[in-house]
Amino acid sequence: MDAVLIPVKHLDGAKGRLAESLAPAARRDLALAMLGDVLQAASAWPLRLLVTSDAEVAGAGRRAGWQLVEDPGTGLNGAVAEGTRAAVDLGASALLVMPFDVPLVTGDDLRMLFATAGDVVICRSDDGGTTALLRRPPDAIAPQFGPGSGHRHAGAAAAAGLHVEEVRLPGLRLDVDNVADLWRLAATRSTRPSAVLARKLLG
């Protein structure tokens, strides 16, 4: 069974690199808008897991029909590892992990990822991070998210003798981490809530 996993840390600490430009309430609103767009893009998958300790994020996931996994509080990779164990227990044979801050992702992007042959399929952002990591089985390699993680994931898969594929997809090129990323989102023609909000915040 194909599954999708999204880790979301507590929003009180989300998008810290935008702190110089956006107040805490605005950063929370932006994070929730991006999360909503990503949850919608993945809504067709039978098994969807959201790892979080944030009550507002959990509420959004619950309303959208996602299964909740408690964030163990050991960082991003710890959250992904916890969600991976839950996915395995629920019968997932393939697990796609992506962050919540890729608001332009589409269902077609995700279908293309699942249609790509490989034990490990990696989609990198323009800054070298990993905006999607598909593993067959879900625990084929350990998660190594963070700056430059695309290279680390590919290296780990190759070292394990796994078939690795790397893809570039338009909806997964942008992850919104800083003000320049926010301007890129605002400059798109997207009518998604996060893009509309980005234009409002920067207006």
Contact 75, 95 (CB under 8 A): no
For 157-199, the pLDDT digits (tens) are: 999 999 999 999 999 999 998 999 999 999 999 999 999 999 9
Cα distance between residue 120 and residue 158, in whole Å: 9
Instruction: Give 24-71 pLDDT, tens digit per residue.
Output: 999 999 999 999 999 999 999 999 999 999 999 999 999 999 999 999
The CA R_g of the chain, rounded to the nearest whole Å, is 16
88 within 8 A of 81, measured Cβ to Cβ: no
Determine the 3-state secondary structure of 203 from DSSP.
coil
The pTM (predicted TM-score) of the whole model is 0.93
Nearest to 155 by CA among 131, 125, 120, 190: 120
Q: Cβ distance 172 to 102 under 8 Å?
A: yes
Overall average pLDDT of the 76-91 stretch: 97
Is pLDDT at 90 greater than 80 in this prediction?
yes
